A and B are shown apart, each in its own frame.
Chain A
Amino acid sequence: MTAEQVVFVLAAVVTLGSALGMVTTRSVFVGALWMIAVFGGVAALFILLGAGFLGIVQILVYIGAIAVLILFAIMLTPRVMGDPNAPRYNRQWPLVAVMASALASLLVALVLRTDWPLAQEGAPTITGFAVELGKGFMTTYILPFEVASVLLLVALIGAIVIAREE
């Protein structure tokens, strides 16, 4: 068991554990916190995979923006959250649980069965990847970049218009 594997197992355990925690907690706020933990775990996995830039972006965007937003949303809708003993699941949760676990097993089976065309090159260089990514965005993948920017703009305007209090 190399160091890397140890770290991987650790990160995986953290992510999956907090994911389970998120799903099972009674109050949504705590669920949100567990979700943040999951984002942290995923960021760790990214860094482990050598995508340092992406890890930090993950932290910055998911934890810094989305999680905060969700927390805000939860706090702005207090009344329902008020009573902790409200049942947190709808009626169909046993069925869904079965389906989710079936899905998980199927996916895992799928993963194990297909032989992935592994690349033979050496380890990726952790540093300097941000520059290539930036270049990539600006040259070959200019269209997705522009589309994403337009999407963000539209989402921004949309959210403001919908959520604005008259």
Chain B
Amino acid sequence: MSEPSKIVKTIASIIFPFTMVFGIYVILHGHLTPGGGFQGGAIVASGIVLLLVAFGSAEIAKRVKESHLSILESAGALCFISLAFLGLFKTFFYNFLAGSNFIFGRIPPFGSNPGDMNTGGVLPLMNMSVGLKVIAGLSAIVLVLSLFARSRKQKKR
């Protein structure tokens, strides 16, 4: 496989930050607009896959190790399940922040409203941890698969 051309690399590095910002926007506004942790995480991960395609897996693998991604994924999953555990004074998965007037604790007025970031209880926090998890998980899968295909090719040569 020949090296991708300069045009591909340049466009990829221009688009990448926008993809990241859009993905993070989708994650953070999951409780207000369509989207959420999984969708936003998939968008960010697709940005990382774009870099992988443009610069080659070896170049990316120098900066990001799959073991780091795996730890990051575990951390995201642990955050998620810990949020569920924190509700255990009532029940598992109890939304203990909703209506508490603490962070994210406001209740929006019923019916149509312009949307307020500071609502939703534990939902935005869960969105963030799931987002982190999905970014790390999907990137790890693609990175490992591409690295494996690459190492095979070198062995044959």
* A in complex with B: no
Which A residues are closer than 8 A to B by beta carbons?
none
Q: Which residues of B contact A (CB under 8 A)?
A: none
